[in-house]
């Protein structure tokens, strides 16, 4: 009885794009703990600082792939931010993420990368999707207006992976994490996501002895949170 080959091996050259971000750094930690990218077996965990490689620039990405020869790619790089940042910089969120995804995913396919994992976001689903959300809810209704720019870019990345799989057999899959928190999070007072924003507000209130904390919103939306190291292990 034949068995399927392993999805990744210690001999793979794994490029984690976005390795300094919260999700990317957790994925790197998990890969290292599990013994992947073992130099003794010819493997490596490949990373690139933005000062060295701007993932928005297609020719630069192509040159980097030609030099480093990754066999597996994890695309965790993105321009991210909370509600305020999305509302303030909608063009940046749409353009930057479209450029990153197109450059990395297309180059990975053309370079003969064996497997690619694209990290999306739960915000790709309609604002009023039935709970718990099912995959079939995608594109079945309007998006949350405050972050639709980011969501549209992520939907485009997901569909690009699906199109390359369908037309060319490229082994690209997409993972939609829920709201993440943990080491490496952004606690900016205006540009952070909901959980670090709440943590900052409560910590500052406790330090100041404030009698109450005022939070955005009505308090009625449901949110689901996942520690980033649990994502990395998955």
Domains and CATH numbers, the chain: 13-182+225-233 (3.40.50.720)
Q: Can 187 be counted among the known catalytic residues?
A: no
Average pLDDT over residues 71-76: 98
Per-residue model confidence as pLDDT tens digits over 120-179 = 999 999 999 998 889 999 999 999 998 899 999 999 999 999 999 999 999 999 999 988
Band of residue 222 on the pLDDT scale cut at 50, 70, 90: confident
pLDDT for residue 116:
98
User: In angstroms, rounded to a whole number, what is the distance separating the alpha carbons of residues 85 and 169?
Assistant: 37
Per-residue model confidence as pLDDT tens digits over 165-179 = 999 999 999 999 988
pLDDT for residue 5:
67
Is residue 5 within 8 A of residue 12, CB to CB? The reply is no
Of 23, 31, 33, whose CA–CA distance to 70 is shortest? 31
pLDDT for residue 34:
95
> Which residues, other chains included, contact 69 with Cβ-Cβ below 8 Å and sequence gap of 6+?
13, 111
Mean pLDDT for the chain overall? 93
Choose the catalytic residue: 36, 89, 125, 150: 150
């Amino acid at each position: 009885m034949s068995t399927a080959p392993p999805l990744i091996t210690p001999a793979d050259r794994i490029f984690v794009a976005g390795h300094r971000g919260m999700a990317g750094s957790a994925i790197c930690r998990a890969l290292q703990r599990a013994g992947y990218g073992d130099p003794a077996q010819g493997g490596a965990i490949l990373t690139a600082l933005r000062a060295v490689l701007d993932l928005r620039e297609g020719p630069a990405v192509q040159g980097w792939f030609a030099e480093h020869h990754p066999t597996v790619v994890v695309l965790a790089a993105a321009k991210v931010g909370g509600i305020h940042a999305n509302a303030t910089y909608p063009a940046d969120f749409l353009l930057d993420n479209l450029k990153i995804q197109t450059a990395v995913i297309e180059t990975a396919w053309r370079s003969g990368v064996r497997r690619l994992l694209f990290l999306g976001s739960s915000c790709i689903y309609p604002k009023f999707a039935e709970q718990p959300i099912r995959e079939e809810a995608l594109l079945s209704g309007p998006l949350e207006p405050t972050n639709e720019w980011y969501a549209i870019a992520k939907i485009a990345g997901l569909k690009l992976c699906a199109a390359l799989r369908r037309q060319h057999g490229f082994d690209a899959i997409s993972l939609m994490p829920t709201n993440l928190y943990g080491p490496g999070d952004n606690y900016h007072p205006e540009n952070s996501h909901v959980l670090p924003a709440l943590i900052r507000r409560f910590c500052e209130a406790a330090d100041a002895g404030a009698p109450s904390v005022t939070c955005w919103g009505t308090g009625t939306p449901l949110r689901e949170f996942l520690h980033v190291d649990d994502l990395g292990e998955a």
